[in-house]
Amino acid sequence: MDTIAVKPQLIFYIKDVEQVIGKPRITLRRWWNAKKFPLPQMINGRLAWRSEIILQWIDETLGVRYNDHSRSHSSYFSLFYF
């Protein structure tokens, strides 16, 4: 039987995104309504994003191409305390 490698997906909820981005939720809401920020998904009635979407947005906003550097997701997470 073949084994399938499953990469775990981390979920950022609104409070996590506020901390990571450093902006309050009202600003984030304005940005996603203006199509300047990724739209959230609802998970059990809570606003949520896949972590890779937020990290990619950060890279694009800073002018760094997401796949052009050797930084792993884990290095991002070591910068933030949840």
Mean pLDDT (whole number) for 4-13: 79
Under the banding of pLDDT at 50, 70 and 90, the label for residue 7 is: low
Residue type, 64: V
Q: What pLDDT, in 10s, does the model give residues 45-82?
A: 999 999 999 999 999 888 765 554 445 555 455 444 43
Residue among 33, 34, 31 at smallest CA distance from 23: 31
Q: Are 23 and 61 in contact (CB under 8 A)?
A: no
Residue with tokens 């739209």: 39
- pTM for this one? 0.67
